[in-house]
Amino acid sequence: MSELTEKARKADTVDELAAKRGEFVLDDVVYLDGNSLGALPLAVPGRVEDVVRRQWGELRIRSWDESGWWTAPERIGDRIAPLVGAGAGQIVVGDSTSVNVFKALVAAVRIAGDDRDEILVDATTFPTDGYIAESAARMTGRTLRPVTPAEVPYALGDRTAAVLLNHVDYRTGRLHDLPALTAAVRAAGALSVWDLCHSAGALPVGLDEHGVDVAVGCTYKYLNGGPGSPAYLYVRHGLQDRFDSPLPGWNSHAEPFGMRSSYEPAPGSLRGRVGTPDILSMLALEAALEVWDDVSVDAVRAKSLALTDLFLECVAEYVPAGRVESLTPVTHAERGSQVALRCEDAGEVMKRLIERGVVGDFRAPDVLRFGFTPLYVGFADVERAARLLGEVLTRPS
């Protein structure tokens, strides 16, 4: 047994989250792609069967009331809230991340006022956020200015209406400084809009603590809600009465069954709703979130850093020198819960890794991404993945 193998074994024996692995549907594969799609929690299939067979099949329309379908967006939002450091009544679940980015950014610009005519957007953002920011700018008559997160404090000014940023860079796993950037945006009189897709469920966010204005996120990555599970929208309490959604729907009306021709927004987080909720996927998400009932986000973060530390150590030991380059910061304060390695033939390397039972993903043209979900990834998994990567890179096909 090698020194690193023994180190991983010992770490697993003292892992306070180790038992959580038993609450997921897993096999012998080392699954390091939870930053794209989380594993299936055991509670979900039975819950979905009940929703389909009893709530829909037997109760039918009565389930909007008797099964709590109508209130699901806010109820599930309140379950997500502690995972992102938010108090109750500020998160509503529904729609996709893309739709929520659009709602969030346009509403933020409207709150900022007509005298602020510029939107800043993370130049390294996931492409969809950039597309939506460009459309929002055109629709609101603002100028869009792409800048890197590091440039934001210097780009802010009295023209800035809103700033759309990613908490964690989806390519590199770099964690951006949400507290400092949010404070800088606030000091400039602008509004902050954060995309939490690659941080929620992997590390503390602190939305309330740090005064974030608006935030969005998906639920199918570290929150394990399932493919296409609904996203969420956070609007801090102090802004809710000014949140003017560009997608006013009957579900966000103050009297949704009044069927009035004029729109009057509902109070609180309900303003983030649009149309009829996606009940099947929403209630699957609710079941998936039960794995978090007795979990501390701080414990998840501590394990995430330990897992990625071990992986980087093992890669340095097992992979031939110069064969890969880590794009993920070594400093804990700048690291999310993934490791991105630049590799000349990354697509083929990932294909061969998957054939050998290690699942990560590939981002063109040359990036291997490995996501570490602390609820079900163990230290032996990490050591095995790095060892097999070393073997693949040592013995080319």
- Catalytic residue, chosen from 142, 271, 369, 387, is 369
Give the mean model confidence (pLDDT) for residues 135-145. Answer: 98
- CA gap 11, 77 in Å, rounded: 34
Sheet holding 232-235, edge to edge: 91-93, 232-235, 214-217, 191-195, 160-166, 118-122, 143-147
Is residue 103 among the annotated active site residues? Answer: no
Q: Amino acid letter at 31?
A: Y
Q: Residue 377: its pLDDT value, please? A: 98
Residues in Cβ contact with 220 at an 8 Å cutoff, skipping those fewer than 6 apart: 37, 38, 226, 227, 228, 229
Q: Please say if the pLDDT value at position 25 is more than 80.
A: yes
pLDDT class of 226 with cuts at 50, 70, 90: very high
**Per-residue confidence (pLDDT) for residue 396, from 0 to 100:** 62
**Residue closest to 214 by CA, chosen among 136, 123, 116, 103:** 103
Q: How large is the average pLDDT for residues 84-112?
A: 98
Instruction: Write down the pTM of the prediction.
Output: 0.97
Give pLDDT tens digits for 36-70.
999 999 999 999 999 999 999 999 999 999 999 99
Is residue 325 predicted with pLDDT exceeding 90?
A: yes
Please enumerate in sequence order all residues whose Cβ is within 8 A of that of 274, keeping only pairs 6 or more positions apart, or say none: 94, 95, 99, 103, 245, 247, 248, 249, 251, 252
Does position 118 have pLDDT exceeding 80, yes or no? yes
Give the Cα separation of 101 and 165 in Å (integer). Answer: 11
> SS3 for 134-166, per residue?
HHHHHHHCCEEEEECHHHHHHHCCCCEEEEEEE
- Would you call 164 exposed, middle or buried from its count of C-beta atoms within 10 A (0-12, 13-18, 19+)? buried
Q: Is the pLDDT of residue 289 over 80?
A: yes
Cα Dmax for the chain:
73
> What was the pLDDT predicted at 379?
98
pLDDT in tens, 239-256: 999 999 999 999 999 999
Cis peptide upstream of residue 365 (ω within 30 degrees of 0)? yes
In the numeric block, which tokens belong to residue 107? 């509403």
Catalytic residue among 79, 221, 303, 352: 221
Model confidence pLDDT, tens digit, residues 162-219:
999 999 999 999 999 999 999 999 999 999 999 999 999 999 999 999 999 999 999 9
DSSP class of residue 93 equals: E
**Contact assessment for residue 85 and residue 79, using Cβ atoms and an 8 Å cutoff:** no
Quickly state the pLDDT bin for 395 (edges 50, 70, 90): confident
Is 376 in the active site? no
Q: What is the mean pLDDT of residues 133-152?
A: 98
Name the percent of the chain lying above pLDDT 90: 99
**Neighbour-count burial of 355, counting CB atoms closer than 10 A to its CB (0-12 exposed, 13-18 middle, 19+ buried):** exposed
Residue 216 Cα distances to 7, 71, 92, 147, 256, angstroms: 38, 19, 10, 20, 24
The one-character DSSP state at 25 is E
Which one is catalytic: 122, 195, 361, 381? 195
pLDDT score for 228: 96
Q: What is the DSSP string of 168-188?
A: B-TTT-BBP-HHHHHHHHHHT
The answer on pLDDT for 1 being more than 80 is no
The Cα 284–Cα 279 span in angstroms is 8
Pairing mode, if any, of strands 338-343 and 324-326?
antiparallel
- Cβ-contact 331, 308 below 8 angstroms: no
User: Average per-residue pLDDT in the chain?
Assistant: 97
Marked catalytic residue, from 102, 170, 220, 234: 220
Categorize the per-residue pLDDT at 397 as very low, low, confident or very high, splitting at 50, 70 and 90.
low
Question: What pLDDT digit, counting tens, does each position of 12-23 carry?
Answer: 999 999 999 999
Q: Which of 126, 170, 243, 376 is catalytic?
A: 126
Contact status, residue 308 vs residue 339, Cβ threshold 8 Å: yes
Query: Is residue 369 flagged as an active site residue?
Result: yes
